[in-house]
Copies of this chain bind each other. A is one copy, B any other.
């Protein structure tokens, strides 16, 4: 035990806090009040749903909890989060980051907080920047971590239908409606409990996954119509120009996860999406690949990086200049001789 304590102190000094057990984390939360939750930049359903659920459930047991206003929150998720937004004059005693792997991912408003008391997360890449960390890297979503933590803390009775809805949004969006590679027994189990506790899966699925905006449909139409299939069809390259988004009237909400489309074509091992940036700032490239092709390696050639299955980079080159270079690297790395 002494050894463990010593390690813990050492870890703190190097910014490497030990991982709390679920029981420790529940006890930590029960003993504290006046909490401010931080969500990550470009907030998705998982960070916002997890924060809303945590705030709602902790308020339900009498605590004062707010969520920092995240200016990049899209209209789609505003209804679940805005009631928890912190007023200007709120002075928290404890800061908790949710679904946020590193400090770099903090929205600007959160950067003033030097000491983060707790990070609740599921990213294997969590840097343990917080004083305390509850990270379950084997979970598909932070929503699952929060669900399990809340039931440990107060039993399923503290999960209201509203909290269940927020957590369902978290789990379902991070698993792509239970279709992504990360979908596992625990994701299904959590969804089963949340649905039993009042999350209306039918309605939420319709809104989140089974409908697309006209602008999105138009963008997909243009993207599929012009998609290129180099490397004997093992690669797919899609281009999204500013003119295309303007013609479709598409905003960032409409573009969510669009980089997944090229790699979802049968026979394609690696999908590349090249987007034109505003003000002649060049191009932004997203690469997605199946096991066997390393997205990270492809992007490293252009000074970018990421993971084996998903990586990216930006370039000062225009879309038209960049695409042939990308195809040439794909040809080389996929072992196909360029014509």
Task: Mark A residues whose CB is within 8 Å of B.
Answer: 176-186, 188-189, 191-193, 195-196, 201-202, 205-206, 209-214, 217-218, 220-227, 229, 233, 264-267
Neighbour of A214 across the interface among B185, B223, B233, CB < 8 A: B233
Complex Cα distance, B188 from A195, in Å, reads: 8
Q: Are B214 and A201 in contact (CB under 8 A)?
A: no
A202 cross-chain contacts in B, Cβ below 8 A: 180-184
Q: Are A265 and B184 in contact (CB under 8 A)?
A: no
Q: Are B225 and A221 in contact (CB under 8 A)?
A: yes
Least Cβ distance of A176 to chain B in Å? 8
Complex Cα distance, B185 from A193, in Å, reads: 7
Q: Are B205 and A179 in contact (CB under 8 A)?
A: yes
Most B-side CB within 10 Å, residue of A182, A205, A212: A205
Judged by DSSP, the binding face of A is: helix
Q: Are A205 and B224 in contact (CB under 8 A)?
A: no
Beta-carbon nearest neighbor of A290 in chain B:
B206
Q: Are A214 and B183 in contact (CB under 8 A)?
A: no
Least Cβ distance of A183 to chain B in Å? 5
Q: Are A188 and B191 in contact (CB under 8 A)?
A: yes
A266 cross-chain contacts in B, Cβ below 8 A: 211-214
Q: Would A201 and B221 be within 8 Å (CB), given that A178-B177, A214-B265 are in contact?
A: no
Least Cβ distance of A170 to chain B in Å? 15
Q: Are B217 and A227 in contact (CB under 8 A)?
A: yes
Neighbour of A181 across the interface among B177, B193, B206, CB < 8 A: B206
Complex Cα distance, B206 from A201, in Å, reads: 22
Q: Are B214 and A225 in contact (CB under 8 A)?
A: no
A186 cross-chain contacts in B, Cβ below 8 A: 192
Q: Would A264 and B201 be within 8 Å (CB), given that A189-B189, A221-B221, A224-B220 are in contact?
A: no
Complex Cα distance, B220 from A266, in Å, reads: 14
15 contacts between A and B (CB under 8 A): A177-B179, A179-B205, A179-B209, A188-B192, A188-B201, A210-B264, A211-B264, A212-B265, A213-B266, A214-B267, A218-B225, A221-B221, A222-B225, A224-B224, A225-B225
Complex Cα distance, B47 from A105, in Å, reads: 47
Least Cβ distance of A243 to chain B in Å? 14
Beta-carbon nearest neighbor of A207 in chain B:
B266
Given contacts A178-B178, A180-B205, 11 further A-B contacts (CB under 8 A): A177-B178, A181-B202, A182-B202, A183-B195, A183-B205, A185-B193, A186-B192, A188-B201, A211-B266, A212-B264, A213-B265
Beta-carbon nearest neighbor of A209 in chain B:
B179
Most B-side CB within 10 Å, residue of A193, A205, A217, A222: A217
Beta-carbon nearest neighbor of A203 in chain B:
B181
Least Cβ distance of A54 to chain B in Å? 22
